[in-house]
Chains A and B, each alone.
Chain A
Amino acid sequence: MIELKSIRKAFNQGRPNEFWALNGIDLTIEAKKVTAFRGPSGSGKTTLLTIVGCLARPTSGRVRLAEDDISGLPERFLTDIRRSTFGFVFQQFNLIKGLSALDNVMLPAFPTGRPHRELRERSESLLDRLKLAHRREARVEWLSGGEQQRVAIARALVNDPKVLIADEPTANLDTALSREFMGILENLNAEGRTVILTSHDPLVVESAAVHRVVSMRDGRLTED
């Protein structure tokens, strides 16, 4: 599904504070599986996630998505791929304050120009499925942490992506909510979606739902 070849990523290139966050990563992520990246903070797992999810381009190396080389694509085209292939759940949920839950869910589909009614129905059914139908008109800052995360999940799914990417999804949740999240994750995977996440939460990486754990340190893979 996703194939990474000698991926390197530098920040502040050519300046004194140049820093290589990724240092030669070779990795294949299988479709329809749940893969977790584990490692201490600063190990490069989030950077790797941004490259896998087409949020950033590697400084060198190749990224292949379903046989297409996408590493040299300009942002404009990466965005197209990102929008249709990946859904993101961020650590801080990154919902837009002041908008209702429903509006937040609809946001990723705005640039596609999907008809409003169709989009609204799709978003409502997603919220419904995540047991948030009663909260859809509520502003997101009024929701609890667990509810916010479920809004974020619904938002990630609105464009019906094949891959769901979650960055430290349980960092802000208690145990019960974390378990609930893993449950949702399992369901999504059972539907045939690929899931990629980063975590150092044992509850996540040791969960039966995770098929493969990739460990990282200092921008390199350590062991599987």
Chain B
Amino acid sequence: MNAWIEKQRHLIDFTLASLARRRTKNLGLLLVYALLVFVLASVALYTHALRQEAARVLERSPEVILQRMVAGRHDLIPPGYLERIGRIRGVQQIEGRLWGYYYDPVVKANYTFMAPAAEQVKAGTLVVGPAVARSRGLAPGNTISFRAYSGKLFAFTVAGVLPHASELVSADLVLMSEADFRAFFEYPAGHHTDIALSVANPLEVRTVAAKLAAALPDSRPILREEVLRTYASIFDWREGLMLALLSAAIFAFAILAWEKASGLSAEEKREIGILKAIGWETGDVIKMKLWEGGLISLTAFLLGFVAAYVQVFRFGAPLFEPVLKGWAVLYPRFELVPAIDGLQVATLFFFTVFPYMAAVLVPIWRAAITDPDSAMRS
């Protein structure tokens, strides 16, 4: 066992020395390799962070949302619906919600206007999301006016700005009091946008939904877990699609690796011949070359991954944001919370190290079977 470890140490020593001797040749490959890891890792880290962000947001949203449908379109909930639902076992809380979209011609962006259930916001004041605050240059105490769809002008005082934590969803949010909301949109009294229900036990959600559908046949229950599922599959799908598109790059890289590994210089061939002549076995040469591949992979992987990490979490992924986020007009500038995930590292390994090793295996073997007597015949 000791001899085995010692031997591997020797092989690594030799590999390091020979890598250092052929710095320029290996540097090119290393850079391409690291670049590939960087691109793939950026995609992976970014989508993972988005997924987490969405999950965090949804964590606080109600388990079931009930929408009324008229002619297959989302419509207002008329008065009396809340009462008609009555008590359903397992439902902890029911509330009618009020929210809508407002297009702000000044910055050409859509805001979400919302009236929170409890009287959190005093009449005449607003609490705005960070993106709104940024785009309109608002601070608490400022006054802002919006022209309603009816043409009337409404003036509000900004009471506060929402925290950054879950910016993906709260960025474009504008909170106002119920009275202001109804007046601004001329919302019919007693009507609501939709109904939110919170259910404590996840196993009961489906039963609750079924009961709701039975009680109010013209309504559609939307489950949080379904939204979560859709989000997850959309993000995964985007990531997968990116990877599939990048597979051409991976393939090209594998060919490059193959080329590099089979295109041994005369000097390298001579060296392997010498090693074999002086007592290295074919298996030893293969091991040495595998160590070489492993060390290159490890270095490239670390370099690429760290660079991707910095790009995504320090600089907000400027390179891939537009492709992967695909959000509405008002781009939330949100801070991604750093998260590394074992599955992703393993996946990344399969997209980079695996093609590399598979590509260099045969060239390595070819190099290793150099005739030992070639050293004599030169």
Contact = CB atoms under 8 A, between A and B. Distances in A.
Given A90-B375, A110-B11, A112-B3, A82 B274 contact: no
B245 to A, nearest CB: 41
Given A55-B376, A156-B278, 8 more contacts: A55-B277, A90-B277, A94-B274, A110-B280, A111-B284, A113-B4, A113-B5, A113-B7
Interface string A97-120: 111000100011111111110000
Interface in B269-300: 270-271, 274-284
Nearest to B18: A98
A123 interface: no
Nearest to B283: A76
A112 to B, nearest CB: 7
Nearest to B371: A56
Interface in B7-26: 7, 9-11, 13-14, 17-18, 21
Nearest to A99: B17
Contacts of B267: 97
A23 interface: no
List of 6 A-B pairs having minimum Cβ-Cβ separation, nearest first: A83-B279, A113-B3, A113-B7, A110-B10, A98-B21, A55-B373
Contact of A116 (B9, B277, B282, B376): B9
A114 B372 contact: no
B376 A111 contact: no
A92 B375 CA distance: 9
B6 interface: yes
Contacts of A103: 17
B378 interface: yes
B279 A90 contact: no
B377 interface: yes
B14 A107 contact: yes
B126 to A, nearest CB: 71
15 contacts: A46-B377, A50-B376, A56-B373, A76-B281, A79-B276, A79-B281, A90-B277, A98-B21, A107-B280, A108-B279, A109-B10, A110-B14, A113-B10, A114-B6, A115-B2
A56 B372 contact: yes
Most chain B beta-carbon neighbours within 10 Å: one of A88, A96, A109: A96
Most chain A beta-carbon neighbours within 10 Å: one of B280, B371, B373: B373
B215 to A, nearest CB: 78
A90 B376 contact: yes
B279 to A, nearest CB: 3
Interface footprint category on A: 35 or more
B17 A155 contact: no
A79 B271 CA distance: 17
A121 interface: no
A155 B7 CA distance: 18
A180 interface: no
A133 interface: no
Contacts of A80: 281
B282 A112 contact: no
Given A113-B6, A113-B7, A75 B279 contact: no
Given A113-B10, A115-B6, A116-B6, A107 B278 contact: yes
A159 interface: yes
B280 A94 contact: no
Contacts of B376: 46, 49-50, 55, 90-91, 167
A115 B10 CA distance: 9
Interface string B52-69: 000000000000000000
Interface string B202-227: 00000000000000000000000000
B26 to A, nearest CB: 13
A107 B282 CA distance: 15
A111 B286 CA distance: 12
B315 to A, nearest CB: 40
Nearest to A139: B21
A80 B280 CA distance: 9
B375 A94 contact: yes
Contacts of A109: 10
A90 B377 CA distance: 10
Contacts of A99: 17, 21
A88 B371 CA distance: 15
A76 B3 CA distance: 18
B378 to A, nearest CB: 6
Most chain A beta-carbon neighbours within 10 Å: one of B277, B282, B378: B277
Contacts of B373: 50, 55-56
Nearest to B279: A83
A224 B283 CA distance: 40
Nearest to A86: B279
